[in-house]
Chains A and B, each alone.
Chain A
């Protein structure tokens, strides 16, 4: 039980780290119009979902925290694209000319 909780703590850290890597790679992909970076971003987000699933399925956390984590994983998926759109709207859409969506 104790060892499970400590493993959960590390998984939660990795969960946020994967979310951060997704955000960074997503932004970099949008800046450079790079499909490879976009795939890297998707892989990081997939890893984050996998970590969330592992914690929800196998950790001793109470149910409300597992539900919170599931909702949180969904939020992580939305934040980078949402922030990006907001940034482009604020700075003037396509103003820099190079912020193109990767094909």
Chain B
């Protein structure tokens, strides 16, 4: 095993741990809606939410980085360049995440001054990590870019997947710099901030997970490189064609010119079309393999990714993306419902699939199956379905009573929050959140145990014979 693959395993362990922190913080966030005075002035809702969203970003990012460190040496047949630096930075990254989380939990916030920005909270939604940590993320990502590009350079070899990956890493890095500006005009600030949030999620991350899925499908199903690369090019073309200007759906109500209503609505409404193609492809692959594979967990999680992406991003997104409807739905739990489903489908399932794929190889198990993975698969997916269903009911109630009828005043917000439909949705969200958390526990147990017993059993059988 290459050193970079050992590093990949560490990244996966950190990612799955943070997935757990994200789940716990999410469950706590859901509980505040049922008990608004919970931990009042001790650990308020906004801190739980910050922890929930930031750990979401970091666990997925760590999963992606780990996956690249796993596949890259196999792709090029050599150790990753600068691996020693990458190993050191992994621990720096983990330590920084732990320190930032501790600051969020114990310090929480400070005054409106430079000290707070540098050491407590940068104050920018979804990228709240204080500035020193944000700079640390830049260093980690730059090292990662160096590792990938220099490995390809030294190997004197490029593949289609690597070209796409390296070209994608440039905007991935540059866009993160949008976490830093201090623009006092809120419209301008949000304008650039969405470049980071949207372009990462609906452009650069989509391409990155496309590259990772291409490698995964080659290993999982033995799909030829020619086919996965052709599909990768098509995906890049379609995702970027719809995703980049789909950015406009975030510009509807932040003080930008009104032409964004048309541009954003049109391009984001196109986004389900490539996802439909992906679903057809998933059925084709599943049918060709007759649902038979040596790694059922990875296979099912890959399928879940294709379907989850279509439903979460496609169906849930299309419901609320046209400006006339978005006028009422934005900023409500309706959006939260879409966000949860889309993230889970597009990225969460993909990272879990890759972890299973890698574990089968590291544990040397030929038949990779267990009962726990089925429980985790069922509980996690049932949990997310129930959560987004509950959030949808609450969100539509908020949009109707709070925004459309009430005029988006504070009073209307309170009235909508007291509506029994809103509250029922929130109870459902919490209950299914508990199921999701149980699914996480089953997943963690399975990742620790799957394939191990088979490996231990094999020599025993040999000696018995």
Contacts and interface: CB of A to CB of B under 8 A. Distances in A.
A10 B316 CA distance: 9
Main secondary structure of the interface of B (DSSP, over half): helix
25 contacts: A3-B400, A5-B324, A6-B396, A6-B399, A12-B319, A16-B315, A19-B276, A20-B310, A20-B315, A23-B276, A23-B279, A23-B283, A24-B279, A24-B283, A27-B284, A28-B283, A61-B322, A62-B324, A65-B322, A76-B273, A79-B280, A84-B280, A87-B280, A87-B284, A90-B230
B130 interface: no
Nearest to A21: B279
Given A13-B319, A60-B324, A65-B324, A6 B400 contact: yes
B325 A80 contact: no
Interface stretch (B264-272, B361-369, B453-461): B264-272
Nearest to A26: B280
A20 B276 contact: yes
Contacts of A20: 276, 279, 310-311, 314-315
Given A5-B325, A20-B310, A28-B283, A13 B318 contact: yes
Nearest to A1: B404
A24 B325 CA distance: 28
Contacts of B404: 2, 5-6
B277 interface: yes
A58 interface: no
A32 B284 CA distance: 11
Interface string A70-103: 0010011001100110010011000010000000
A28 B230 contact: no
B19 interface: no
B318 to A, nearest CB: 5
Contacts of A28: 283, 287
A75 B274 CA distance: 11
B262 A64 contact: yes
Interface of B: 226-227, 230-231, 262, 265-266, 269-270, 272-273, 276-277, 279-281, 283-284, 287-288, 310-311, 314-316, 318-320, 322, 324-325, 328-329, 396, 399-400, 404-405
A16 B318 contact: yes
Given A2-B400, A28-B283, A75-B273, A12 B322 contact: yes
Contacts of A65: 265, 322, 324
A37 to B, nearest CB: 11
A13 B280 contact: no
Interface centre among B265, B283, B324, B325 (most CB of A within 10 A): B283
B123 to A, nearest CB: 33
Nearest to A8: B325
Contacts of A13: 315-316, 318-319
A73 B378 CA distance: 33
Nearest to B262: A64
Nearest to A5: B325
A31 interface: yes
Contact of B273 (A10, A60, A79, A91): A79
Contacts of B283: 23-24, 27-28, 31
Interface of A: 2-3, 5-6, 8-10, 12-13, 15-17, 19-20, 23-24, 26-28, 31-32, 60-62, 64-65, 68, 72, 75-76, 79-80, 83-84, 87, 90-91, 96
Nearest to B265: A65
B277 A79 contact: yes
Nearest to A87: B284
A61 B261 CA distance: 13
10 shortest interchain CB distances as A-B pairs: A27-B283, A31-B287, A13-B319, A2-B404, A16-B315, A83-B280, A83-B277, A16-B318, A9-B325, A27-B280
A57 B269 CA distance: 19
Contact of A16 (B227, B314, B325): B314
Contacts of A75: 273
A63 B266 CA distance: 13
Nearest to B319: A13
B280 A61 contact: no
Contacts of A19: 272, 276
B213 to A, nearest CB: 16
A20 B288 CA distance: 20
Nearest to B223: A91
Nearest to B396: A6
A34 B262 CA distance: 42
Contacts of B288: 31, 91, 96
Contact of A23 (B280, B325, B405): B280
Contact of A2 (B269, B315, B405): B405
Interface centre among B262, B314, B325, B329 (most CB of A within 10 A): B325
Contacts of B270: 72
Contacts of A2: 328, 400, 404-405
A13 B339 CA distance: 15
Nearest to A69: B269
Interface centre among A16, A32, A65 (most CB of B within 10 A): A16
A91 B284 CA distance: 11
A96 B286 CA distance: 13
